[in-house]
Structure 1
């Protein structure tokens, strides 16, 4: 099993052995709502008591206390777990803002809730919870157009490094018809970012395609977009996100290069 799968098994076992009425909450609710666990500490199982008594922490289990409102708890596969709205807000208070943004964007893109619903639940009783400062940031950055963990991390990287906020899933049109969606576009700066992961070239192969065919198809798509927009493409990978200093230098060099080229054209 993967680390995420092992964590889900531990959560289920801990829930089954609880002596009081509890709900799987925080990051421990995420496996059962089919949400990503990227960036979270999986060393503890999180439960919320339904009896209102004080929480405690012992032997890899953290029991929380918190007011439960109608709709906060759902039942799935014989387990009581926090709803996507409640679990995503709790997650933003448990891990980093980046990890919280990954979860919130996942649920928003999937359509489990909208931003107004999320903000409403936060303002209802959770805005004064401990460690809620990252939640305010996540709510400002959340974007239902962002489709994956990698894209959420890329958008957070741009914020953290003081880069302009890109437009996610930018539509490129030819003759009024949408011919491409770009992961992130910077129209004013004249470039776009595409995230290259294995999923793009393996899971989404068309019938009869090889990985090499998919690479060539993506190259033709990039050339078409460049011809229609006049922009440059910057391709990044997980390795780039693991070295943010180097990635920032690449992006800023590209911005400077495009600005210099535009200046030369105006001068000629």
Structure 2
């Protein structure tokens, strides 16, 4: 089920079926109903496994459902609507708002400084700022980890072709367009320039984006990304990080990655893990390089990842 098809249920609809306050509270407490915003609910089973960006987009749909005027979403909310990964969900929705518009509803942040250009795109019935502008605003307003993750995902959409093709010229064009958006901004231009410069669409997952930042913080040279290694019988293995300055390989291995690989191949995660072990053994043996894996639990800060790498004998040059 996509976000656009998750049924939203208004309190008035529940009342029409005889569900009054006590019944609604009971169903929320037992998890059958999940509040999306005041007066709007969804079934718990429909939302329990949603990613942060999907939860944000669902709240945006709920706001449109109860708004007299259709809002134009911006910042992280626009990023979520456009399917870009969101490392955090603070429960807020971000919308453009001219000075004449009154203060926002509960959980809504109105950005009057961004309303100078009301141009928008529409996706699944939701209005939001175009991709380039969305990325520029996120790069200005959010933390480095969040911003670079969004920049990477947008560049991947624009410039990456699986399994390893990357159009550097197209990536530079997108980056320049986003940079131009930041020039008229009143704040965050320097932070945006840093995030846009660090962005690289070859990162396949948010964990890879954050990993790259931690590696740079530790003092490693900028790693090679999506590195091809010749495999058996003419196959090619792609590795997340080539730590070329220290002769090592690195991979981010969030469990979501294994579930995604298993689902796409119609296999169980255990068989995928076993195949990954054979793949790693081949790469170690043929390249004679050390090989380290890590997950989200090692990315809380650079020092934590540094200790993980050190356990494999990998330290900055």
Counterpart-to-counterpart distance in 2, 1:138 and 1:204: 29
SS of the counterpart of 1:201? helix
* Alignment correspondent of 1:29: 78
Which residue among 195, 214, 226 is the counterpart of 2:272? 214
Question: 1-10 vs 212-221, which deviates more?
Answer: 1-10
* Alignment correspondent of 1:236: 294
* Alignment correspondent of 1:266: none
2:179–2:196 contact (8 Å) kept in structure 1: no
1:172–1:182 contact (8 Å) kept in structure 2: yes
Matched, 1:44 2:103: no
Q: Map residues 105-116 of structure 1 onto 2, 5 A cutoff.
A: 105-111=152-158, 114-116=171-173
2:136–2:181 contact (8 Å) kept in structure 1: no
Query: 1:128: how far off?
Result: 3.7
Query: 1:230: how far off?
Result: 1.1
Question: 58-67 vs 129-138, which deviates more?
Answer: 58-67
Q: CA RMSD in A?
A: 2.9
Counterpart-to-counterpart distance in 1, 2:228 and 2:51: 37
CA deviation map 1:228-251 (0-9, x unaligned): 211010010111113542321333
Counterpart-to-counterpart distance in 2, 1:212 and 1:116: 42
Query: 1:57: how far off?
Result: 6.2
* Alignment correspondent of 2:200: 143
* Alignment correspondent of 1:78: 125
Counterpart-to-counterpart distance in 1, 2:251 and 2:226: 10
SS of the counterpart of 2:95? strand
1:167–1:185 contact (8 Å) kept in structure 2: yes
SS of the counterpart of 2:221? coil
2:140–2:192 contact (8 Å) kept in structure 1: yes
Counterpart-to-counterpart distance in 2, 1:193 and 1:239: 15
Gaps of 5+ in 1: 260-268
Matched, 1:123 2:180: yes
* Alignment correspondent of 1:165: 222
Query: 1:132: how far off?
Result: 2.8
CA deviation map 1:76-118 (0-9, x unaligned): 1222111121111111222201101111111111227733223
Gaps of 5+ in 2: 1-46, 160-169
SS of the counterpart of 2:109? strand
SS of the counterpart of 1:93? helix
1:55–1:64 contact (8 Å) kept in structure 2: no
Question: 30-39 vs 5-14, which deviates more?
Answer: 5-14
* Alignment correspondent of 1:255: 314
Counterpart-to-counterpart distance in 1, 2:310 and 2:102: 48
Counterpart-to-counterpart distance in 2, 1:208 and 1:23: 39
Which residue among 220, 243, 246 is the counterpart of 1:189? 246
Query: 1:56: how far off?
Result: 5.7
Query: 1:157: how far off?
Result: 0.9
CA deviation map 1:112-166 (0-9, x unaligned): 7733223224225545431233211111111111111110010111122322211
* Alignment correspondent of 1:59: 106
- Number of aligned residue pairs: give it: 253
1:55–1:63 contact (8 Å) kept in structure 2: no
